[in-house]
């Protein structure tokens, strides 16, 4: 059983100006609020409250950076899709998360968490379509797979795989449960691979003084 060992919180940012220097490859996690993103990160790190997001709509939206020693940054993006978020908060999400996803040079891939009981919502599709031009790999976790029977889970996986295949994106998809740890090893392998590829990229000018602390 693998675990993301040696992970530490780096910083929280609520404004693009506060983003940390682009010194290492990054994999970002995003999904609809309540999809199980925090639980997934905690399950992979085998920690109970590494990633924790208050469920109160209206709370400050933050991007949380974690350093996985020897690998890179894991970046926990605020969830999207609260039914009742005020317009100002939606704008803030667009500016903060949209800005990050559109321009972060060391971003090596995106992990999108979708509830396996209702995956590929309109908001999920919008996000994927919007992100497609970056030409970065997207790995989808179909979370809470423990809530589906084996047959339903297999069907969902096949359906989502086919739906993703119709989009102009390099995607992979798997079943995941933070409750019974189904798919944890597979997800960690995928993230490790994305970060390894990302760390092969040349350093971002002026950010690391030419030193890549990982690669």
Asked if 107 and 101 touch (Cβ cutoff 8 Å), the reply is: yes
Q: Where are the alpha helices (DSSP H) in 63-183?
A: 87-93, 99-103, 122-131, 150-165
Residue 112 parent element (H or E): strand 107-115
DSSP one-letter code for 117: T
Of 118 and 147, nearer to ligand GDP (C-beta) is: 147
Enclosing H/E stretch for 182: none
CB-nearer residue toward ligand GDP: 82 or 198: 82
* Closest distance of CB 181 from ligand GDP, Å: 9
Enumerate residues 146-175 that contact ligand GDP by CB under 6 A. Answer: 146-147
| CB atoms near residue 51 (< 10 Å) | 20
Question: Counting contacts by CB under 6 A, is residue 186 touching ligand GDP?
Answer: no
Nearer Cβ to ligand GDP (25/51):
51
Residue 176 Cβ vs ligand GDP, minimum distance, rounded to whole Å: 7
List residues near ligand GDP by CB under 6 A: 31, 33-39, 53, 79, 143-144, 146-147, 177-179
């Amino acid at each position: 059983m693998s675990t993301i060992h040696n992970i530490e919180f780096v910083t929280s940012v609520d404004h693009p100006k506060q983003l940390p220097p682009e010194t290492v490859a990054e994999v970002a996690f995003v999904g609809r609020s309540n999809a199980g993103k925090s639980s997934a990160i905690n399950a992979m790190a085998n920690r109970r409250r590494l990633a924790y997001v208050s469920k109160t709509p209206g709370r400050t939206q933050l991007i949380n950076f974690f350093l996985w020693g020897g690998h890179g940054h894991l970046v926990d993006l605020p969830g999207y899709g609260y039914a009742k978020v005020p317009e100002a908060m939606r704008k803030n999400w667009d500016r903060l998360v949209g800005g990050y996803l559109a321009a972060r040079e060391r971003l090596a891939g995106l992990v999108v968490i979708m509830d396996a009981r209702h995956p590929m919502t309109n908001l999920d599709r919008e996000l994927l379509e919007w992100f497609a031009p970056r030409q970065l790999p997207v790995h989808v976790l179909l979370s809470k797979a423990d809530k589906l029977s084996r047959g339903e889970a297999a069907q969902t996986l096949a359906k989502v795989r086919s739906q993703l295949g119709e989009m102009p994106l390099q995607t992979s998809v798997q079943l995941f449960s933070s409750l019974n740890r189904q798919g944890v090893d597979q997800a960690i392998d995928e993230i490790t691979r994305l970060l390894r590829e990302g760390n092969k990229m040349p350093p971002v000018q002026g950010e690391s003084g030419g030193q890549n602390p990982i690669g």
